[in-house]
Amino acid sequence: MRYHNITKDDMLNGDGLRVVLWVAGCSHHCKGCQNPITWDPNGGIPFDEAAKQEIFEQLDKDYISGITFSGGDPLHAANEAGLTALAKEIREKYPSKDIWLYTGYRWEEICDHEIIQYTDVLVDGRFILEQLDVTLPWKGSPNQRVIDVRQTLEKGKIILFGEDEKDGKN
């Protein structure tokens, strides 16, 4: 697995303040993608032990809510095995932190992948430039879904992040 960047105190790619890992490799090639530099799986630099420790140092901080995997596509063949192992380790080492994952695949295509077990929120689907809506939280076009993975697996139907609380209030 290779990556381009680890960003810190990020407020845009998930709930709360987060550390974000931007991996290399995406085969979706959406028109208007903001990170085409990340499409090449051979781009960036190797994800090594030092990079992992850099992430753990962030997750050690109380005010960091969790980690977001983005890119690139975390579920690109070049990334999935490495990120599955990393997500599993984070889940064990930091049970109170949440894991968000952005992918160009649809939930229905990847919901049986192992990494889903360790994921709290999945933002799915390709970005569609013609439907760009900058007012949408955590996503670029309305076809994408911010999925509450645990609730979705438990209830056997797609539950969007925050939907449960909304239902409770109504």
Residues in contact with ligand SF4 by the rule CB under 6 A: 26, 28-30, 33, 35, 38, 71-73, 104, 126-127
Whose Cβ is closer to ligand SF4: residue 73's or residue 120's? 73
Peptide bond into 25 cis (omega under 30): no
Report the nearest approach of ligand SF4 to the CB of residue 126 (Å).
Answer: 5
| Contacts of residue 155, Cβ cutoff 8 Å, sequence gap at least 6 | none
Query: Quick one: how many helices (H) and strands (E) in the chain?
Result: 5, 7
Report the nearest approach of ligand SF4 to the CB of residue 2 (Å).
Answer: 14
Whose Cβ is closer to ligand SF4: residue 37's or residue 45's? 37
Whose Cβ is closer to ligand SF4: residue 87's or residue 101's? 101
Q: With contact defined as beta carbons under 8 Å apart, do 117 and 95 qualify? A: no
Q: 3-state class of 7 per DSSP?
A: strand
Nearest one of 160, 156, 155, 118 to 139, comparing CA atoms: 160
Q: 3-state class of 42 per DSSP?
A: coil
Report the nearest approach of ligand SF4 to the CB of residue 34 (Å).
Answer: 7
Report the nearest approach of ligand SF4 to the CB of residue 73 (Å).
Answer: 5
Report the nearest approach of ligand SF4 to the CB of residue 63 (Å).
Answer: 28
Whose Cβ is closer to ligand SF4: residue 27's or residue 53's? 27
Taking CA 104 as the corner, what is the angle to CA 24 and CA 136, rounded to the nearest 5 degrees?
Answer: 110
Whose Cβ is closer to ligand SF4: residue 64's or residue 147's? 147
The tokens describing 8, both together, are 């810190």
